[in-house]
Amino acid sequence: MHRIVKVNRKGPGRPSQRAHDSSFPKPSPSSTASRPRGSPRSRARPPPMPKQRLLIKGGRVVNDDQSVEADVYVEEGVVQEVGPNLNPKPPSGLTVLDATNKLVIPGGIDTHTHLQFPFMGTTTKDDFYTGTKAAVAGGTTMIIDFAIPQKGCSLIEAFDKWKGWADPKVCCDYALHVAVTWWSDKVKEEMKSLVQDKGVNSFKMFMAYKDLYMLSDEELYAALSYCKELGTIAQVHAENGELISQNAKKLLAMGITGPEGHALSHSEDVEAEATHRAIAIANTVNCPLFVVHVMSKSSARMITNARNEGKVVYGEPIAAGLGTDGTNYWNEDWAHAAAHVMSPPLSSDPSTPDFLMNLLANDDLSVVGTDNCTFDTCQKALGKDDFTKIPNGLNGVEDRMSVVWEKGVYSGKMDENRFVAVTSTNAAKIFNLYPKKGRIAVGSDADIVIWDPEATRTISAKTHHQANNFNVFEGMVCHGVPVATISRGKVVYHDGVFNVTAGQGKYVSRPPFPPYVYERVKQREEVCQPIPVKREPYAGVVSATPSAPR
């Protein structure tokens, strides 16, 4: 059994590290109560704040490129040393975690969440507190959520609003993608300012949700061109919104009102067509493309082919798409079927999760998100008579890491290093957080998970930490359990016990031009421009310009 060991021998002026953990009583800022009477006030300096120090002993440190048996020493939230038999001095005030027979991995980065999202007439159950608390319980130490303005509204105001919601509540670090839901010169100006002043380096464009968020091809062309100019990542929700709308009308007219109508109206073609179109537009303007929530074989094949052709495209499957499937839409229990409604839908072909996992293992797909966007049964019931009104979204932020371990590593498709790549490192590289995030190395943020590959847990809504009443992975037994989660050097979760404070997470700025993505893009810009063919001017006869008919 993994144990936390506290070395609490106090040295002079060094109270135990516990004393300044947020959930434990803080040392009083001024020590007047204990100051001897008559002693001069100016000499009674408050004792220096003790350093937050943590040693993780005896584990195997797993990065995306190698695994080594090593201890990890952390001070003030930053990794100071990685090596064998570390023995940092002094021993007082040091928290020691025993990781014998465990893996020590970079904290997970969930590239796709919607916490506290006002959507389809309601707001998601999980807010930035419950959502990030559940995240750390599952071994995720950073989320990237989406600020989504209504059409015609300010992107900066949306960003500020989402940040205002997140800052007082987050229990781990976070960042924000921003959605471009309309197009104008003002949108362009605001995108620039978000990049330069607010640390945003990714924008999501919707090809679905007609009349709500959807962009036309002309707007997509303009938005992707500008994303490239700014050095950002263009993300697309790839579904053909016009086809969905026509399909839905037809199905409702046929009397199909239940959740199976959602799956039928969002057919695989609808996703594949939009994925292909997005890749074509992105490639035309030399913009790196990140296809969010890749749900079908056809869409994944489009991405695989594009990557094989050398295009700068990344695909993000989600935990639910790897762990369950769309046969659930035909469940006779309406609430069960509705709980799985999301867009694009889970694939109705039950062999799809395995297919997507193979592509993820082989680097055809790049990172795993969740699209965590939770609604309870009463909220889903807004669409009880019309599947188009069922709020779209499901859970994943807590279970993502375990689902990927179970279906990816335990199944033998990927090794522990690829697991780290797809759950953390690749996201950090693509969104320019690396190597502060996504790696355990000297100088990196101490976002670390002690992972027990042998332990198992059974996922259930009865025991999960998310706010909704349904879990799409209900009953799944997963090997791979986070024993302890460390966020910026603080043990925030350990053996089922939380030590989190709302608002302790930080907003993380992401500079533009991530080298992992843009080195190639910039080089192409320089060397892949079309050049005119040198030829002698045409010297022959030119036909007379036809005159206008009389």
- CA gap 43, 61 in Å, rounded: 46
Q: Which is nearer to ligand URP, 371 or 376 (by Cβ)?
A: 371
**DSSP letter (8 states) at residue 210:** T
Residues 402/457, Cβ–Cβ less than 8 Å: yes
By CB under 5 A, residue 371 contacts Zn ion? yes
Which residue has the closest beta carbon to Zn ion? 237
Minimum separation from the CB atom of position 319 to Zn ion (A): 13
The listed partner (Zn ion, ligand URP, none) that binds 402, CB under 5 to 8 Å by sort, is none
Residue type, 447: D
Q: Which is nearer to ligand URP, 73 or 375 (CB)?
A: 375
Residues that bind ligand URP (CB under 6 A): 114, 237, 293, 342-343, 371, 373, 392-393
Interacting partner of 393 out of ligand URP, Zn ion, none (Cβ under 5 to 8 A depending on kind)? ligand URP
Based on the shown chain and the rule CB under 5 A, indicate whether residue 110 belongs to the binding site for Zn ion.
no
Minimum Å gap between C-beta 393 and ligand URP is 4
**Nearest-approach distance from CB 123 to ligand URP, in angstroms:** 12
Residue 96 or 300: the one with the smaller Cβ distance to Zn ion is 300
Residue 115 or 448 having the CB closest to Zn ion: 115
Contact partner, 392, from ligand URP, Zn ion, none, Cβ < 5-8 Å per class: ligand URP
H or E element in which residue 109 lies: strand 108-113
Name the residue number minimizing CB distance to ligand URP: 392
**Angle made by CA atoms 414, 415, 420, in degrees to the nearest 5:** 100
56 vs 292 by CB, closer to Zn ion: 292
**Residue 111 interacting entry, from Zn ion, ligand URP, none, C-beta within 5 to 8 Å by type:** none
Range 381-387 contact pairs with CB under 8 angstroms and sequence separation of 24 or more? 381/335, 381/338, 382/120, 382/121, 382/122, 383/338, 383/341, 384/334, 384/338, 385/257, 386/252, 386/257, 387/248, 387/251, 387/252, 387/256, 387/257, 387/258, 387/259, 387/260, 387/261, 387/262, 387/265, 387/341
- Check residue 345 and give left, alpha or beta (phi > 0: left; psi -120 to 50: alpha): beta
Choose between 71 and 316: whose C-beta lies nearer to ligand URP: 316
Q: Which does 342 bind (CB under 5 to 8 A by kind): ligand URP, Zn ion, none?
A: ligand URP
Q: Site mask, Zn ion, residues 331-370, x = CB under 5 A?
A: ----------------------------------------
Size of the site for Zn ion (CB under 5 A): 2
Minimum distance from residue 391 beta carbon to Zn ion (Å): 12
What the block records as the tokens of 221 is 């062309």
Residue recorded with tokens 């045409």: 538
Strand partners, 449: 105, 485
Task: Please tell me the distance from the alpha carbon of residue 75 to that of residue 78, in angstroms, as a whole number.
Answer: 6
Smallest separation (angstroms) from ligand URP to the CB of 231: 24
Site mask for Zn ion (CB under 5 A), range 229-248, x = bound? --------x-----------
Q: Which does 494 bind (CB under 5 to 8 A by kind): Zn ion, ligand URP, none?
A: none
**How far apart (Å, rounded) are the C-alpha atoms in residues 268 and 518?**
31
CB of 393 to Zn ion, least distance (A): 7
Amino acid at residue number 191: M
The SS3 assignment for 428 reads: helix
Residue number with CB closer to Zn ion (116 or 499): 116
The 3-state secondary structure of 226-261, one letter per residue: HHHHHCCEEEEECCCHHHHHHHHHHHHHCCCCCHHH
Mention every residue, 6+ apart, whose C-beta is less than 8 A from residue 52.
Answer: 17, 20, 74, 75, 76, 77, 489, 490
CB 188, min distance to Zn ion, A: 22
* Residue 111 C-beta: closest distance to ligand URP, Å: 12
Of residues 181 and 499, the one with the C-beta less far from ligand URP = 181
Q: Which residues bind to Zn ion, rule: CB under 5 A?
A: 237, 371
